[in-house]
Each structure stands twice: as structure tokens, then as C-alpha cells.
Amino acid sequence: MSSIEANPAQITLPVDVMALERQYLLQNYARYPVVMHRGKGCYLYAASGKRYLDLISGIGVNALGHAHPRIVKLIREQAGLLLHTSNLYYNDYQGPLAEKLAKVSGLDRSFFCNSGTEAMEGAIKMMHSHGRAISTEKYEIVSLDNSFHGRSTGALSLTGQPKYRADFEPLMPGVRFTPPNAIAALETVVSAKTAGIVIEVIQGEGGINPMDEAFLRRARQLADQYDALLVFDEIQCGVGRTGTHFAYQLFNPALMPDIALAAKPISCGLPLGVIMANEKAAATIKPGMHGTTFGGGPLTCRVALEFFDILEGLLPSITRTGDYFRERLRQLATKFSFIRNVRGRGLMIGAELDIPGKQIVLDCMEAGVLLNCTHDTVLRYLPPYTVTEPHVDTAIRVLAKVLKKY
């Protein structure tokens, strides 16, 4: 038994970390008033000793829960071998991970970076490079209202939510927003000037909004007709979250993008983002046109390879447990009329309310269950892929008790 396991339930922090953060950090986060100290499986433990059922998993990142034995063992081993070399040299795992991604995604080539936002930035350069090779007028990018693509200036320019953008305008020119799932509107906005169309197959921060198959197929056709790149941002909905390797594989036949982006769960909590591209899109980046110091290091790539190996065995239960979770939420909706709608696929789950969700999240947390609220009124669960029906039952029991107050 490791020393961490043997810790007493409660630890005494040597400093008041909350006070230090108030004094020394940019005040950009509205954190919950709890200091998390360790995790095991689907549970997180605060410094106070309190245990939480973690059904948000670091915003969809800790896909195998916390301290998965195979991941812990491998990180320990790799830390003693090699952590970083930069992209000056080859390492043991970047090539094998790219091969694995090609097999599971149906796309041809990968570029590794360190976050979802960075993957989006690379994709913006690819769309611009693609357009520019055809015409200097071909630089428009079509993105959807209510979308979220990251907080850097480029990614923010594609994010269709004024609350994230307003303070930073003017942003990158040439972005045209259109409503999700509105085919006629999409047809009017895509033109010969369009270099790319960017879509979350299931919008995450925007409130767990799945795109219709017909809308996505029309986007594919329009991209082909006007020679634009179709980019799926699968940073939240991809890498197993929906019970398929990627959300675009929920459709039959799969609805292939030219570029797919992934990040959040792909290296089990280590920072790794990836751009996957077909040969046509990959050809937009020639030697020297893009790069990163940290991206694709041996540790993150090795963990991701191990994760994909474990994921194969989990995909059926992701679908099953996710369906069960939504079914139980729908049962609650028959009792609480302010639950308007239950949405999502696999373990990407949203329950839209007629009332604000913030206090409900705090009350569930008090009762030992972690979820969050996105878009003000959507309760969001992004549990680890190892979550079981008894965990779901606990979440539902706690939520039902909390909702009685409203």
C-alpha cells in the first residue's frame, strides 16, 4: 500500500492556499471553496477528508478516473527514462500514437500539441493556408453560434458566445457565425470565400447540444462544393466520450471531417492535444510552417497509447451507462417539471433546467457529488469512463434530494 493510501483522512495544509490565491493569482476563476488533495477511481478527496463522487472529471479529462494503476505505473517508469527532448529528435511513442490515431480516426496524419486551444490554433492556420493557396480572398471561417473553441485570440474568434469575446474585440477578421442545426442559414453563409467550416459534433460549453446528422452531412457537402476544409472540434465530445472513438463515428456511414481535433481526455490528465488531418488538409502544412516545444513528448504520448488500449474495453459500457444515466434523469424530469430536457450521447450528459443551475451544483457538492453547470441552466455530467450504474444511482438519489428544495 502506497504512502498516499495510508494517509489519514484529513490532512493539515501548511499554508492557507485559498488566501494565497486571492492575493497572488489573477482573479479570473470563480473556484468552489474546496481544496482537492487526492483522487482514487471515481472519487476525489478534499484536504478536509471529505469524499466526493467525481462526475465532472476535471471537465472531461480524467477519463479513467484518478490514479488508475496502469497509468500510475507507466508514468513512474517513463519519468525515470525520459520526459522531454523537444521535437528536434524522434521519441519512442509519437509515431506509434500517430499510427493508432490514424487507425481509430480514419484520418491520415497527426500533429501533437499541449491543449485543445492549441489544436484549434493549428487548425486555423491550416484553414488559412488552404484558402490562401487558392485565393487571397479565401480566408473566411464559418463557425456556429453557441460554440466554444478555446480562449486564445484565434480560438476565441471562432467561439460563438459573446460573453467570452466581448472584452477582447476586435478579434480575428473573417469569421462568419451561423446557428447550429440550421441548414438554410448555413447554405447562405458558405461561399467560395470560405476556407473552413468548424463544428463541435456535440457542443459542450454551449450546453450539450448534439448536431443533427442532416446538418452535418450538408456541411460536408458544402465544404466539398466550395473547396473548404471541414473541421470537427472533438475536444470535449471525442476520444471515447460518446461510446465511439469519435463523435462523428456515431453516424453510419461515419461522417468524415478533413480535420478532427482532440485533447481533454486523451492523455488521462496530462496535457496533450492533437490535430488529425486527411492527406488533403495535412498538405497545408509544409516543413517549418508550424511547431511546438513541448507537444508530443514521450510521457504524454505513451500515456495516450496506454489509454487507447484500455479504452477498447470500455466503449460498450460508456454507451450503456450513459443511456442508463439519461434514462434515470428523464425519470426525474417526470417528477420535477423544471427539468426541461435531457440530452447527450454516451457519457456526455446535460439536463437543461428552467431555473439557474449554480446553487443546485453547490448543493450536490455539499452532498458529495461533483457535476457542473454550463450555459447557466444546463447541469452537465462528464463522468470518468469507468463510472458504474451504482455511481449513477448515487448521483440521481443526491440530485433528487437536492431538487426537492426548488
Ligand X SMILES: *Cc1c(COP(=O)(O)O)cnc(C)c1O
The residue ranges that bind ligand X (CB under 6 A) are 115-117, 120, 148-150, 200, 204-205, 233, 235-236, 263-264
Considering the complex, state which of residue 148 and residue 381 has its C-beta at the smaller distance from ligand X.
Answer: 148
Q: State which amino acid sits at residue 220.
A: R
Considering the complex, state which of residue 115 and residue 178 has its C-beta at the smaller distance from ligand X.
Answer: 115
Considering the complex, state which of residue 74 and residue 263 has its C-beta at the smaller distance from ligand X.
Answer: 263
**Closest distance between ligand X and the C-beta of residue 59, in Å?**
7
Considering the complex, state which of residue 196 and residue 204 has its C-beta at the smaller distance from ligand X.
Answer: 204
**Closest distance between ligand X and the C-beta of residue 159, in Å?**
8
**Closest distance between ligand X and the C-beta of residue 295, in Å?**
12
* CB-based closest residue to ligand X: 116
Considering the complex, state which of residue 107 and residue 119 has its C-beta at the smaller distance from ligand X.
Answer: 119
How far is 213 from 161, CA to CA, in rounded Å?
23
Element (H, E) at 256: none
**Closest distance between ligand X and the C-beta of residue 263, in Å?**
5
Considering the complex, state which of residue 208 and residue 365 has its C-beta at the smaller distance from ligand X.
Answer: 208
H helix runs in 226-344, sequence order: 279-282, 298-312, 315-335
Backbone angles phi, psi at 394, to 5 degrees: -60, -45
- The neighbour count for residue 74, using CB atoms within 10 Å, is 18
**Closest distance between ligand X and the C-beta of residue 225, in Å?**
26
Rounded to whole angstroms, what are the CA distances from 320 to 20, 105, 237? 44, 22, 17
Give which of 167, 169, 191 is closest to 178, Cα–Cα: 191
Cell of 93: 511513442
**Closest distance between ligand X and the C-beta of residue 123, in Å?**
10
Beta pairing partners, 66: 41
How far is 343 from 326, CA to CA, in rounded Å?
7
φ/ψ region of 248 (left if φ > 0, alpha if ψ in -120 to 50, else beta) reads alpha
Tell me the helices (H) and strands (E) count for the chain, helix number first: 15, 17
